Structure 1
Amino acid sequence: MPSYRTLSDATAALVDRQREVFDAHADRFEAAKVVTTRLGAHWRDGHAEFGFWTPQLVDEVPESAVSLELLTPTEDVDLTADEETVEFDRAFVETRREGEFTWAAVEGIRPGTRDRLGTLYRLSYEVGGEYETITDPFADSLPFGAYGPPELYDMARLDEERDDRDYFQRLEQDGIEPLASEDDGLPRFEPATSMLEIHPGTATESGTLAGLTRQFEAIGEKQAAGESLTPAERNFVGYDAVQLMPLAPITQNEDELGYWLPQTESADSLLATVRRPDMVNWGYDIVISGFGTVNPAILETRRPDELVDFIATMHTLPEPMKVVFDIALGHADNGALPLLNDEWLAGPGMYGQELDYTQPVVRAGLLELQRRKMDFGADGIRVDGAQDFTNWDPETEEEWHDDEYLAEMDRVTQEVAGVEYRPWMIFEDGRPWPRSDWELASTYRTLIDQHPHAYQWGPVTFAHNTPALQTFWATKWWRVREVADMGENWISGVANHDTIRRGTQLEPEPPFSQPQINRYLGVSEPEKLDRAYNNPASTVLFHGFLPGCPMDFTHANMRAPWGFMRDTDAVWNLKVLAEEEHFPAWQIRPEDFDDDEHFQRLKEWGFGSREELSEFLGLLARAVEMTDYEKDEIATLLNTMGTPIGDELTVTELEQLGRDWMRDVGEFANLAHWHGQQDDERTAFDLAVRQFRHDHDWVVGDLGEDDTLDYVYPTDGTVIYYGHRRAPDDSEALLFVANMEGVAETVRPTELTDVTDDGWELALSSPGLDVDGADEPLELADSDVALFTRSLD
């Protein structure tokens, strides 16, 4: 059994430091920014230091009743196993409390490493004869999910052994000029030229960061050897950045078994069954607790090393790529309630629980969690839902945007491989959302104006955009024009995790009084949706001609299914399922449903075809609407109407059906299923367009006064965009023409704008498009495009 010993002097030093910091700062927030850096568990030269923020204990639990509980496995644990029963040596050591904080320094503890599970820990105290525990929101490792005990982890070793240390040291040596507004001399990573959004849970067969690393390693080896990439592999390259969807630990379904299951326990021993976390979620249902580490459901080994390995691989590819983290700190799922003390939360909100940014320790703690997550080595940060960072003013009874907190996020610095830097900042901010006129009123520039180096998601990128609708490119013209005029600090493009989901919610055959689907995109609904988010015209428009940083989504590149998937919500799961009413029509081809590999759980319920699944979801959607989401009434109504799987469904069965749906859709969306269906010509074209942007990177800047972007008026059934740009150094010019939507139309590109007929060379054109020259007639069908270049030297 380990021999733990509380280090009295080291513990006293932690307490003294807390006192000194608060005494030295009149502003509690400034003091909290210092103190929160010591919260959590830290391995220091042969001993561990622990710090907890425990305001809930101050008036309720005496200091002497609180212990630090330590759990060290007696034998090696196979963290890749689906399930294992593990015996832990258990001990309780004393702690020191100073005001709202609890501290301990202990030797004899085992830190976790790449190859070994370390000591687990939590605070423990007795109330009314029963033991209560407090977890650590600042944990570095949560191998059994946010609801299991955290693990002491050797984070210094993880940083020291990373394979991309030279990457960061070159940043310091060769450098990026510090911004004039940042007088501390620290470099800030430059923006990417183009970016790919990735959902780690469905990007590879394993659904893990390790699987994603192996995939990019294989691509890098081919690039280094000059070998050709497969059509599927092409979909992942040609960018200089990837954005990973949120990686933080997430909520769990309270009706599921869980992943940390104590069996028997005594004062010095605990026997627990531990299960491999396998939550299905797109990553935004976070619980804040453990935000600084990685969701174990996307870790093959349950070791945070996997994230560093992935980043190091991206940084050391023959064509290096930046890594951007998607940071969702604007809300907490209701699952955070048992994990956080009440001070963290301001009350219920649109997405679960609002966070209290006015509480100084919370404010500082969230910034510290951001810092720790980014210290895994990210180059950039995308702040999800920046318009959601608000506080309530009881006097005016209005919410106000906490732009000073967003500025604090922007000021956070990272230290990786001994180099301090600031990341590329990206904000998703659609204010005044959710005001009813937000789409018209939003400038998408509020935070760019405040932080000129920052980027924002532009207006054509936001979730509400649905390019499968007829007249999308006509009605969104004014926003596209804004991208041309002021888009150099915008993330652009139409394909991301949100927009494709909105596409699957469109009614496939809407009434004539509603916007219609663009029938020219394809024959079947899946073909129309796939092409809406990945077609030659929009790809060349954003990557080849317009400013900013275009972003694509892996599932759009692969033309693979994607939808809203989460099996982590026991309360709203059926409502979410009802919102997916049209998913089968848009994303499931009949032959895919018939494939024995797909939808195995749903087939066990009795669904025999895609049509039966669509029928059931339609009935569920009507029942949810008619009952205002009263589950008992939903079950009664469905049974009265009758469903393809019977008329005796209980609420419990419906909830299980919802979870089975989420898991089946998550597996169906896994990109490993779709590698063999990639079109060679299309993927080669898409990659060539991305390479064109990098070879002509001057296009990232806004159009100049003499440049042109316009559309043919009157439209006469076709939305023809055309444009002309000159490089700032007058070395070359571009001529762009595309049929964004509508019937086929014949045009002469040079006649659309005031340019000479001579000297134009075809740079890019839709696969199969017959192009004779820029001054010759060119017949453009829906989504066809041609881009010409002309040397001006």
Structure 2
Amino acid sequence: MILRDDEASEALATRCRETLASAGSSFDAARALARRMGGLVTGPGKAEFGFWAPELLEARVPDGDIFLEILQPDAQFSLTVSRQNARFRRTRLPVERADAWIWCAVDGIRAGTRDVIGDFYALTWRDGEGEWHRIFDPLAASVPFGVFAPAELYDLAAMQAARSDKPYFEGLQPGEDGAPAKLGPAVNILQIHTPTATAGRTLASLARQVEHLADRVRHGGTIEPADRLFMGYEAVQLLPVEPTTVYEAGPAFWVDDGDYGEVLTTDLRRPDTTNWGYDVVISGMAAVNPALLESGRPDELVDLIAALHTFPDGPKKVIFDVVFGHSDNQGLEALNRHYFAGPNMYGQNLSYRNWTVRAIMLEIQRRKVDFGADGVRVDGAQDFKWWDADEEVMRHDDEYLQEMADVVQEVAGTRYRPWFIFEDGRPWPQEDWELSSTYRAVIDNQRDDDVFQWGPLTFAHNTPFLYTFWLSKWWRIREMVERGSNWISGTANHDTLRRGTQINPKLNINTRLGETRMDILDHAYDNPAVQMLTYAAFPGVPMDFLNAMARASWGFIRNQDDKYGVKIMAEEAISLEWQVDDYAYSLPGAFSRLKALGYETRDDLERFLHVLPALVEVTDYDLDVIATLLNSVEPRLAGPSPFTPAALKVIARAWMDDMHDYCNVAGYLDRLTERQTAFALALREFRTARPWLRGNFAWGDQFSYVQPVDGTVLFTSFRQGPDGEQVYMVAHMEGAETEDFDPLNLHHQAADGQGGWTVALATPQIGPDYEGGPIVLRDSMGVVFTRTAPG
């Protein structure tokens, strides 16, 4: 039986009042109280709950109309079925209030674990008309039906106690005077979007794949091309695994029957949204996106982290990608108005100067990273702003970014501070941001010397398959070699690959990269010469994107939109030109939803997608007018007949779902080649063996290109290590093939007459038999030589 612990509830409220009265500042008070917010298990059958609900004060809701609602599921309840009608026993408990803070301690409650489904909860209140309303927990640890449904009380201590990588954390070395361990940068990073990384599309499926590969390595099994995609990396960065938006027009994942009595019957759907991860609502970000959970248990994220931390050839670090710079507009329905500072191009700005909101967001971050991440990548750090009313200007909240980096985590009894990476392109969105951004605003302002930012070649606007790209970026490349030690490098990530699929094919495309557009795109973002440049020459930390390395498709994947879904499809339509040919479209199972709607061939779909974007633009996205005009096209367009706004939304949803399936890496593994994947792995191992390459170019190091260009861009790099090793690289970045020449004669430091050079790496087109001497280089070819410094 669920009972309120009166003494403990009153003590919570008393402690809250004392904290508010005695804390050094409002922010100090809020941070202390935020540590006790949400549903926290305090012992067997015991839990404490805390909410910040200023909206109830503003609505003048009396204490007697506010309750903690506990929902106990019946025995048949499951988290692994697509849809079910479930019954819950409802208990409403009175609460204690301290200003805007609401507290309640409970006995007899069941907490969820890997093997047990816990009780669900929400704060509920009754209005003057007798209608009931819910306030959901923004700091919930488990949200099996998303953030717009009651949360599950979860035993995080039990989850942590069962993790298999505790020795990894216990081995972290504390800082001076017992300070928390400080984790530093990784050698390189593999960026992974969980739903397209494996056929299973879940964190559990990805964990099994890592464990399977670990077994092969441990027992000396044959390493296949697909295995190499995951090997040679010291860190894995997961695209956001937080709960995202839900379907705008439904169906909802949790629907009550409207009965306010002791028994609640619900219509429940297993969350199945697809999203690239960045469309968050802030609420629930301490939990795991239920659409990524095979079992509905957040333990799956710990399992994946543990599998990576215990990999047999050395621990692989885990980096979380967190989104606290904006909220989708759906966040307005999940959180009270005090969280928001007004609209922006993504949805809503967050109110960073509201000290309670600030404290809650930092607490959400702390709880999420306590799953066991070694690093944190902060998305869109340039969006963390506040309005300075005295000076009437918007200011970047660098203090908040520093507070993020200062959060101390604790796993397996070990306190540590993660490695931090910031994506910050300020003064973006100022029109000249590509010119004026230094990409160093956070690096220069933070206290730690190992804070990183995304480098200038890593941002979305980089398109390395347009002619003259490499020379047009020469000034940024010079910055890379001179001051890039704290930059993430590489041109293939979730942003750049998506941008590549949006480029007009009529632009000045480097056709030497491939015979078809699909080949060109694949080779542009899995380019051996670019990889050689990144791993054998550039400072910083290289990062690759799994979909790019697998030469799999990618795009803006989000199937929740109702209002703007058709517009998004129109904006993404050009990706058909780059990623889908007749053969790929014709394969059984490919684009099955669109085919069922009448787009039986790629030509059918292409014709429709050629017309749609123009109509979206000229009608200012008026769906009624768009449908009317589509119906008048002759000869008639394939698809539903007649076109209606509703039909267009169905097509848009089918497009998103089919493209999500099409982007799954599992569908591309059989096309990977031995030489392609072996070369990429050898590059990563080369970098790992030479950690000094992370540093900036020093005295005696040189980076240049061959002049006069004469239609061919050849980059050369000469670097010297602290152990006397010298590394010399020549890479053909674009243009016509060279005449027969000796690469060592391009650079005076390499051609010093001392000899001793050996070929360490050569791109796959060159082949293993090349041992030096004259060679003809073509686009994407390169060689790395090494020697011990003469004398």
Length-normalised TM-score, structure 2: 0.96
Q: Return the offset for 1:644.
A: 2.8
Q: 1:314·1:322 contact (CA, 8 Å) conserved in 2?
A: yes
Amino acid at match of 2:367: R
- Which of 362, 376, 383 is equivalent to 2:371? 376
| SS of alignment partner, residue 64 of structure 2 | helix
Q: Which amino acid letter does the alignment assign opposite residue 16 of structure 1?
A: T
State the 1:647 CA deviation.
6.0
With 436-445 and 563-572 compared, the bigger mean Cα shift is at: 563-572
SS at match of 1:745: coil
2:385, 2:615 → 1: CA distance? 35
More off after superposition, 379-388 vs 676-685: 676-685
Q: State the partner residue of 1:631.
A: 623
Equivalent pair of 1:763/1:788 in contact (CA under 8 Å): yes
Query: 2: distance between equivalents of 1:662 and 1:123?
Result: 35
CA shift for structure 1 position 170: 0.2
Q: Is the 8 A contact 1:534 1:556 kept in 2?
A: yes
Matched, 1:663 2:657: yes
Q: How does 1:264-343 map to 2 (within 5 A)?
A: 265-319=259-313, 320-343=315-338
Measure the CA separation in 1 of the matches of 2:483 and 2:236: 23
Greater Cα shift, 538-547 or 568-577? 568-577
The amino acid that maps onto 1:156 is A
Residue 250 (str. 1) matches residue 219 (str. 2): no
Residue 771 of structure 1, CA deviation: 8.0
TM-superposed deviation, 1:254: 2.1
In the alignment, residue 653 of structure 1 is paired with which amino acid?
A
Contact 1:770-1:778 within 8 A present in 2 as well: no
Aligned mate of 1:473, from 467, 470, 491? 470
Contact 1:487 1:702 in 2 (8 A): yes
Q: 1:363-413: CA deviations, max 9, x gaps? A: 111111110110000000000000000112345543211111111111111
C-alpha change, 1:184 and 1:650, in structure 2 (3 Å) is: farther
Question: Aligned partners of 1:421, 1:704: CA distance in 2, in Å?
Answer: 32
Residue 64, structure 1, aligned to residue 61, structure 2: no
Partner of 2:667: 673
Select which of 205, 212, 216 maps to 2:199: 205
**Does the 8 Å CA contact 2:492/2:526 hold for their aligned counterparts?**
yes
Larger mean CA deviation between 110-119 and 80-89 belongs to: 80-89
In the alignment, is the contact (CA less than 8 A) between 2:597 and 2:640 conserved in 1?
no
C-alpha distance in structure 1 between counterparts of 2:581 and 2:535, whole Å:
30
For residue 227 of structure 1, give the secondary structure of its aligned residue in structure 2: coil
1:41 to 20, 36, 39: 39
Residue 767 in 1 paired to residue 764 in 2?
Answer: yes
Match of residue 209, structure 2, among 211, 215, 222: 215
Alpha-carbon distance in structure 1 between the residues aligned to 2:92 and 2:229: 52
CA shift at 1:76, angstroms? 4.6
Aligned-pair distance for 1:190?
1.4
**1:742-753 superposed matches below 5 A:** 742-746=735-739, 747-753=741-747
Is it true that 1:565 corresponds to 2:560 in the alignment?
no
- For 1:472 and 1:21, the matched residues in 2 are separated by 58
What displacement does 1:698 show? Answer: 1.4
1:640/1:647 contact within 8 Å kept? no
2:713 is paired with a residue of what secondary structure? strand
Q: Does 1:593 align with 2:585?
A: yes
Q: Which residue of 2 aligns with 1:513?
A: none
CA contact (8 A) 2:338 2:357 kept: yes
Question: Match of 2:726?
Answer: 733
Equivalent residue runs for 1:73-88 within 5 Å: 73-88=73-88
- Specify whether residues 109 and 116 from structure 1 end up closer, same or farther in structure 2 by C-alpha distance, changes over 3 A only: same
Of 593, 597, 600, the residue aligned with 1:605 is 597
1:761 touches 1:773 (CA, 8 Å); kept in 2? no
1:108-142 Cα distance to aligned partner (Å, 9 max, x none) = 11101101211000111111121111111011100
Contact 1:771 1:778 in 2 (8 A): no
Which residue pairs with 2:141 in the alignment? Answer: 140
- SS of the residue aligned with 2:334? coil
**1:501 corresponds to 2:491:** no
Partner of 2:8: 10
Contact 2:765–2:781, Cα closer than 8 Å, also in 1: no
Matches within 5 A, 1:182-201: 185-201=179-195
| Match in the other structure for 1:53 | 52
* Equivalent residues of 1:197, 1:553 under 8 A apart: yes
The Cα offsets for residues 265-324 of structure 1, whole Å up to 9 and x where unpaired, read as 352111112221110100000011101010000000111100011101100011310000
Deviation at 1:509, TM superposition (A): 2.2
Asked whether the 8 Å contact 2:759–2:772 carries over to 1, the reply is no
Kept in 1: contact 2:758–2:772 (CA 8 A): no
Secondary structure, aligned partner of 1:564: coil
Structure-2 residue corresponding to 1:414: 409
Which residue does the alignment assign to 1:540? Answer: 532
- The answer (yes or no) to whether the contact 1:639–1:646 under 8 Å persists in 2 is no
Deviation at 1:7, TM superposition (A): 0.5
Report the equivalent of 1:399.
394
- Deviation (angstroms), 1:709: 0.7
1:116 alignment counterpart: 116
Counterpart AA for 2:28: E
Q: Is the 8 A contact 1:76 1:117 kept in 2?
A: no
Measured in 1, the distance between the counterparts of 2:581 and 2:228 equals 24
What root-mean-square deviation, in Å, do the aligned CA atoms of Structure 1 and Structure 2 show?
1.5
| C-alpha separation in 2, matches of 1:344 and 1:660 | 34
Structure-2 separation of matches of 1:689 and 1:770: 15
Answer with 404-413 or 394-403: which moved more: 394-403
1:494-528, Cα deviation, whole Å (9 max, x unpaired): 00001000000001123xxxxx0100000000100
- Residue 364 (str. 1) matches residue 359 (str. 2): yes
Matched with 2:28 is 30
SS of corresponding position for 1:236: coil
Report the residue type matching 2:142 in the other structure.
S
Deviates more, 1:128-137 or 1:454-463: 128-137
* 1:391/1:670 CA distance change after superposition, 3 Å: same
Change (3 A) 1:775 1:74: closer
**Deviation for aligned residue 1:229:** 1.6
AA in 2 matched with 1:53: W
Check 1:646–1:273 CA distance in 2 against 1; reply closer, same or farther (3 A cut): closer
Kindly provide the amino acid, as one letter, of the partner of residue 20 in structure 1.
E
Q: Which residue of 1 aligns with 2:638?
A: 644
For structure 1, which segment, 119-128 or 74-83, has the greater mean C-alpha deviation from structure 2 after superposition? 74-83
Do 2:225 and 2:673's aligned partners in 1 also have CA atoms closer than 8 Å?
Answer: yes
**8 Å contact kept, 1:77–1:116:** no
* One-letter amino acid matched to 2:144: P
One-letter code aligned to 2:212: A
Q: Which amino acid aligns with 1:80?
A: T
Q: Which amino acid aligns with 1:560?
A: A
Over residues 242-284 of structure 1, what are the superposed CA-to-partner deviations in whole Å (9 max), with x where a residue is unaligned? 0000011111112131211223635211111222111010000
Amino acid at match of 2:688: H
Aligned length: 778
Shift of 1:18: 0.9
Which of 17, 20, 23 does residue 19 from structure 1 map onto?
Answer: 17
Q: Distance in 2 between matches of 1:98 and 1:771?
A: 73
Identity over aligned residues, as a percent? Answer: 46
SS at 1:58 equivalent: helix
The DSSP-based 3-state class of the residue aligned with 1:421 is: strand
- Following superposition of structure 1 onto structure 2, how do residues 542-557 of structure 1 map, counting pairs within 5 Å? 542-557=534-549
Contact 1:580 1:617 in 2 (8 A): no
Amino acid at match of 1:544: A
CA contact under 8 A between 1:749 and 1:774: conserved in structure 2? no
Deviation at 1:161, TM superposition (A): 1.0
